[in-house]
Structure 1
Amino acid sequence: MVNLSQLWTTERIWQVPPGWRQGRGAWGGLVAGQVVTAATADLPDPRLAPRSLWIAMLGPVLAGEVLCEVRDLRRGRATLAREVTLTGPDDDLLTRAVVVFGVPRAGTAVADVAPGAPDPQPEPGAQRVELPTPPAPEFASQLVFSPVAGFPFSGARNLLATGWISLGEESTDTLTPAVIAALADAWWTVSITGIDGAALGPEGIPPVATLDFSLSFPCPPARPEPGAAVAAEPTSRELWQRGLWHIGRGIAGQQGYLTESRELWTPDGRLLALNSQVIAVGRAG
Structure 2
Amino acid sequence: MLSDALHFSFRLPARASVRRTTSNPITEGAFVLQGDNHLDGRTEGRAPRLVRFMGVDLELAPDVLVPREETELLGRNAAAILTERAGPATVIDMCCGSGNLALGIAEEVPLARVWGADLTESTVALARRNVDRLSLGDRVIIRQGDLFAALAGEDLEGAIDMIVCNPPYISTSRLEGDSAHLLASEPREAFDGGPYGISIHQRLIREAVAFLKPGGWLLFEFGEGQDRQATALLARTKAYEAVTFAEDSAGKPRVALARRLGGAAATAAADGASR
Report the TM-score when normalising by structure 2: 0.26
Q: Structure with the greater relative contact order (CA < 8 A, sep ≥ 6): 1 or 2?
A: 1
Which structure shows the higher helix fraction? 2
Q: Which of 1 and 2 has greater Rg?
A: 1
Report the TM-score when normalising by structure 1: 0.25
